[in-house]
Amino acid sequence: MKLKTKTRVALCVAALSGTGITASQVIASDIEPYSVPVSIKGEKQKDYFGMTMTTIGKFSDKDNGSHIAGEDIVITAPWGDGAKGIAYVIFGTSGGKPMQQVNNVGEFDPQNALKIIHSNKANKPGSVTTKWMGVAVRKIGDINGDGYDDLVIASHWHDQVYIIWGGPHHRTGARLSNQIDLNDIDNGDARLGIRIRTVNSSGNANTGGWFGAAVGPIKYKNSAVANKMVDLAIGDIEGTGGRGGAIIIYGAQKPGDQWQNIDIKRNNLGDWEIPAATGAYIRPQMTATNGPDKPLNYNLGQQISDVGDINGDGFSDYLIVDPESVNEGRKSENSGTDGRGTAYLVYGSSFNQGNLDIASLNATQATRIHGMGAAFLGGQSGGGEGSNDHSAYTQDKPNNGTITPLGNFLNAHANAFAISAPADMGIDKKRSGLVWIIKGKADGSKLPSSLFLDAAHTRLNYNKTFSVHDGYAIYADRPGSKLAGFGNSILGNVDLNGDGKKDLVIGDPNAVNGSGTQVGAVYVINGGKSLDDYADDEEGMININTLVREGVAKVYWGKNQYEKFGASIAAGSFNGFTQDSLAIGSYRDNTWTGKVTFRIADYAIPD
């Protein structure tokens, strides 16, 4: 079927019916205030619907010949059901069919959505009541090798992570209702999924740690990669003596009902001990060094995810982040504290199974990427209206991702990735966060053993090393005194304008509009070209407003004050077209009921 490349409408035609909105009006949604015809609200006040969300690929349907399945999306309400947490999976459609029109997320028909709850009402022997389930969710991929993408939901409050198996059964009459009860998985029903938790020496569940602070896909073991599967990485920022770490659960090609729940205990070193056939452990740097290359860890594992093949050797690489690491070798801008935050870019060709000690990584195996000053690289900004604090580990903190692959975003032969520091305001508080774009290599060579993100550094008599040859530092010129938060959520490897190039989405839930109102904003930077010409100087600093003014980026503004528009973002082909669409969360909308708004992708009308 041939498509007219110049004839476009701004939504699937069916999605416009009954809305009273014309195509020309929808195209105008690129200017403030943000306006779209598709929005979904939470079920109840104080549910925090939309606090975290992610596309989960082909979870309930997959491509088959001419049938192109739309991607599913999971949206969480961590305070729903008495603060135990609810996750909602909204199924993608195919052929451009619109999603069901509902007033709130609880009104979806069973064939169009799935509700995930936990019915456990009280603490019972050997069991715990989940709380704030869904503070971390991620697009993972296929863990059990059945061809369907799987869903991972984490609750660091009670140190539990659930894998929900994907498959067509979520859409068929095999389910009596559009609901999964995680208590059934607790009780061993592996047909639905499995639970991964930490336990004490007596086998009782731990409930006071931070296991599940982050979850992410990772290609760690060669057998999983060879079979087009992924491994699961689980961050625990209080592992190994309180310095953090991560557990890797290997993907395995076996039916879901042949898996079992996994309990993990500590060994005599304080590490989580996992059988070699099941997974591995990433151990933190436990002692300080005099130089800058090996900073002491404090919370390793707050973010961990695959970022693509960054050095061009054919292996996918990954990042694991510690926003609180102390860099003894590079002091902060005011000389009062040490540099903060280190991201470890581990090259996929270096390790393919077995435990990993971060301290042992050499220059051929990894690149250490260091934040400067009080950057808290890879952490998240304070969440309150009146706070500029880092607050990366407050217990009600949304975890929406501060690292992302970018693919061919720069139209180069090499892949790129991004990492944000939304709490980095600088010593003079003239900025409100930074998003760093790091350029990769195409020839199999490594990045430097240490890369210092010092383009924004203002300390006197300091020789900067970062430049446009390494990447860029994108900033918003809103003063930090007006709240940090630029880059609180970032998302790459998506194509929102249909040009075949990957775009970058940046959430700024504390953004202030032209009227001085804190309404939040989301920026979309169009990929496909170098950004060198837009940099303020050779050091790679780029003002996001310059990109908007030059037509390289778009900005979407929230409507209401303090609704946290842009706190969560997701993108995918929700209606079965190849072009991606954008979803934006506002978890404080309507007395924290929460809302998610969708901008369905433009598409060409077939002949």
pLDDT in tens, 481-534: 668 899 999 999 999 988 889 999 999 999 999 888 999 999 999 999 999 999
Range 436-457 average pLDDT: 91
State which H helix or E strand residue 327 sits in. Answer: strand 317-331
Radius of gyration of the chain (CA): 23
pLDDT (0 to 100) of residue 400: 66
pLDDT (0 to 100) of residue 374: 78
Q: 196: Cβ–Cβ under 8 A, 6 or more apart, which residues? A: 160, 161, 162, 163, 234, 247, 249, 261, 262, 264
What confidence tens digit (pLDDT) does each residue in 253-297 have?
A: 999 999 999 999 887 777 888 999 999 999 999 887 756 678 889
The number of C-alpha atoms within 13 Å of 252 and in the hemisphere containing its C-beta is: 13
pLDDT (0 to 100) of residue 128: 57
By the 8 A CB rule, do 435 and 403 touch?
no
**Residue among 556, 566, 570 nearest 589 (CA):** 566
pLDDT (0 to 100) of residue 49: 96
Answer yes or no: is pLDDT of 66 > 80.
no
pLDDT (0 to 100) of residue 568: 95
Answer yes or no: is pLDDT of 393 > 50.
no
Mean pLDDT of all residues in the chain?
A: 83
Answer yes or no: is pLDDT of 384 > 80.
no
Percent of the chain with pLDDT over 70: 82
Answer yes or no: is pLDDT of 329 > 70.
no
State which H helix or E strand residue 406 sits in. Answer: strand 403-407
pLDDT (0 to 100) of residue 372: 83
Q: What is the pTM of this model?
A: 0.89
**Residue among 244, 167, 395, 419 nearest 318 (CA):** 419
